[in-house]
Amino acid sequence: MKDYQFFGVDDFLEDAAFRQWVFSPLLTDNEFWNRWLAEHPEKEAIVSQARQQLLEIKGTLQPLSENYIDQKVMQIVQQAQMLNDSAEQSLPVIRRLNPTWYYMAASVALLLGIFWVYRAQQKPELAPVAYTQLIKTAKQPLHEVANTDNSPKTVMLPDGSTVVLYKNSRISYPKQFATITREVYLTGQGFFQVQKKPDQPFLVYASGLVTKVLGTSFFVKAYEQDKDVLVTVRTGKVSVFAHTDKQAAMQKAVPELGGIILTPNQQATLVRADKRLVRSLVAEPQRVDGPQKLTTSFVFKQTPIANVFAALERAYGVHIVFDEELMANCTLTARLDDESLYKKLEWICAGTESSYEEIDGQIIITGKGCQ
């Protein structure tokens, strides 16, 4: 389950489960959020502000005619049916959902699409910034290390943190970090393992992105000739925001994480062509449950589906959203030890007449329930 206690307003605005609760709450959504707010009263003001902003966004969108919405929904339905028919040819074990669920899924997709178009118009341009320009902004003299070899090169930073520098990569950093923040500048690709110092945030400047951490491990890939800039989290939690963000100065200075929050197996991609920042899951999510890997078994015998999804969340650190009430009668009998996360999800969905998709770094399950 996602840890909402560290969320700010922007994090709630970008969270799919929170948006569902605001726009089209299910009974289980109301129960969860009412219980969560009762347990975290200090977050009531932030949640209220995020909820109000969402409602205002919905209210300020230009009205769409019923005919226009119907046409758009039908287009999405037709596309979904074509994709599903194609999928059935390659995976005959997965059965098609009934048309009612296509219509509901398409309606949600249309609403979220309108929301994200609006949000994109409000965000600052994520213009890439060249490495030579970035290092000119440094407040301290910098020492540079470059790697032109084929083999990765490990660099020890002044605070004991390390970065594995890959081929054709360079990193610049001061000989002694400032007392408030630890700042480094990267071009190319590096894997960082950062010493935990909550009162002294660690900042990586790469192209148009700033990656902020308190102590964790993550990859940054920011070759200037590549189409995209990529930040991928291995362990812990990081935040990513635009170098040109109006609130960037404040986000750098305070200990708390802001911007887009990434957790293990999530990544943020700066798409240079569109100047937009996208959060998603990595292509091959890895186990994050540490020593428990040796004892955790994915052998299920008539196991309630909620318990199955909970086991996946613990193992991979990925948030799975589904209608607990609708799928309350669904169970699974299967052995899924060796499969990847996505293969596990395919088998689970095949056994429960449901489907999944990855949205904003989360897994969304859609199904009609089980008798």
Asked whether residue 123 is assigned to any structural domain, the reply reads no
- CATH code for position 191: 2.60.120.1440
Quick one: 291 and 265 in the same domain? no
Quick one: 299 and 258 in the same domain? no
Asked whether residue 187 is assigned to any structural domain, the reply reads yes
Asked whether residue 371 is assigned to any structural domain, the reply reads yes
Quick one: 295 and 240 in the same domain? no
Quick one: 248 and 371 in the same domain? no
Choose the final residue of a domain: 28, 45, 60: 60
What pLDDT score does 260 carry? Answer: 84
Domain hosting residue 49, numbered range: 4-60
Quick one: 200 and 289 in the same domain? no
Asked whether residue 139 is assigned to any structural domain, the reply reads yes
Asked whether residue 256 is assigned to any structural domain, the reply reads yes
> CA distances (Å), 71 to each of 61, 67, 156, 311, 345, in order?
18, 6, 58, 40, 31
Quick one: 267 and 288 in the same domain? no
What pLDDT score does 66 carry? Answer: 45
Quick one: 209 and 320 in the same domain? no
Choose the final residue of a domain: 60, 76, 91: 60
Quick one: 188 and 244 in the same domain? yes
3-state secondary structure the chain: CCCHHHCCHHHHHCCHHHHHHHHCCCHHHHHHHHHHHHHCHHHHHHHHHHHHHHHHHHHHCCCCCHHHHHHHHHHHHHHHHHHHHHHHHHCCCCCCCCHHHHHHHHHHHHHHHHHHHHHHHHCCCCCCCCHHHHHHCCCCCCEEEEECCCCCEEEECCCCCEEEECCCEEEEECCCCCCCCEEEEEEEEEEEECCCCCCCCEEEEECCEEEEECCCEEEEEECCCCCEEEEEEEECCEEEEECCCCCHHHHHHCCCCCCEEECCCEEEEEECCCCEEEEEECCCCCCCCHHHHHCCCCEEEEEEHHHHHHHHHHHHCCCEECCCCCCCCCEEEEECCCCCHHHHHHHHHHHHCEEEEEECCEEEEEECCCC
- CATH code for position 331: 3.55.50.30
What pLDDT score does 168 carry? Answer: 95
Choose the final residue of a domain: 274, 305, 325: 274
Asked whether residue 294 is assigned to any structural domain, the reply reads yes
Give me 33's structure tokens: 């959020």
Quick one: 222 and 197 in the same domain? yes
Q: How many domains are there within the chain?
A: 3
Asked whether residue 31 is assigned to any structural domain, the reply reads yes
What pLDDT score does 262 carry? Answer: 92
> Mean pLDDT per 10-residue run, the chain (371 residues)?
70 79 79 83 81 64 45 48 47 37 46 44 56 87 94 95 96 92 94 91 90 89 90 90 64 62 91 82 88 73 93 92 90 88 92 89 89 74
Question: How many whole angstroms separate alpha carbon 183 and alpha carbon 37?
Answer: 36
Predicted confidence (pLDDT) per residue in 56-81, tens digit: 655 544 444 444 444 544 454 455 45
Residues in the chain: 371
Quick one: 140 and 268 in the same domain? yes
Quick one: 245 and 292 in the same domain? no
Quick one: 183 and 246 in the same domain? yes
What pLDDT score does 123 carry? Answer: 45
Question: How many whole angstroms separate alpha carbon 38 and alpha carbon 174?
Answer: 46
Asked whether residue 107 is assigned to any structural domain, the reply reads no
pTM: 0.62
φ and ψ of 212, to 5 deg: -120, 130
Q: Give CA angle at 349 (345, 355), nearest 5°.
A: 95
Percent pLDDT > 90 in the chain is: 34
